[in-house]
Structure 1
Amino acid sequence: MEGETKGNGTTKNRAYWARRGFDAESPGVCNTFRAPASKVA
């Protein structure tokens, strides 16, 4: 499927988490265990 990689989520989701960590200047904001399923699918 376009934009998908096995085990790493969609391109859109990876970009979301990269931007979130970059903007916060901390990887600690990227707690995918507490995120809604729509943000880690």
Structure 2
Amino acid sequence: MCYYFQISSLKSVNWHDLRVMGVCFKTLRLSLYEIEIMRERFGFRV
């Protein structure tokens, strides 16, 4: 849910929600990192 919020909010960012979005950024960053690991280990294509 946070990912979709982050992606959909990129076009119209409300900078007053930076504290809330910061959590999404951290979560999204961690998820991208995990995806890269899985791609290297298992050859997944996302």
TM-score for the superposition, normalised by structure 1: 0.42
Task: Report the structure, 1 or 2, having the larger helix content.
Answer: 2
State the structure with more CA Rg: 2
Task: Report the structure, 1 or 2, having the larger strand content.
Answer: 1
